[in-house]
Amino acid sequence: MIDLSEAKWTKASASQANGDCVEVAFVIGAVAMRDSKNPDGAVLVFTPGEWATFKSGVQAGEFDL
C-alpha cells in the first residue's frame, strides 16, 4: 500500500474554479490521482510506467471526445 499521508496534491493551472478537476500527487514509486471535489474519496494509484503511458495517450489525443 502506498502512503499518501504526506502527499502534495496539485491540479492543473488551467482547472476551472467550479472544482470539477482531478488532483495528482507524485510519491515515491507511484502517482496518485483523486477527484478534487471529494478529497477523502477513492484514489487511483499508478506505477510510473502506467502514468507515462497514460500521459502519452493524453498528449496524442487518444481521450479526446
Q: For the segment 3-62, what is each residue's pLDDT rounded down to a tens digit?
A: 999 999 998 777 766 667 889 999 999 999 999 889 999 999 999 999 999 999 999 999
How high is the pLDDT of residue 21? 87
What domain range is 37 assigned to? Answer: 22-59
Alpha-carbon span 27 to 42, nearest angstrom: 17
Residue showing cell 502534495: 8
pLDDT at residue 52 in the model: 97
The answer to the question of residue 7 being in a domain is no
User: Is position 44 within any domain?
Assistant: yes
Q: According to the model, what pLDDT value does residue 19 have? A: 67
Domain-located, residue 35: yes
Q: What is the pTM of this model?
A: 0.81
Asked, for residue 30, whether it belongs to a domain, the answer is yes
Cβ neighbors of 36 (< 8 A, separation 6 or more) are: 11, 15, 19, 20, 21, 22, 23
Starting at the edge strand found earlier in the chain, the sheet holding 30-35 runs: 22-27, 30-35, 43-46
- Counted domains in the chain: 1
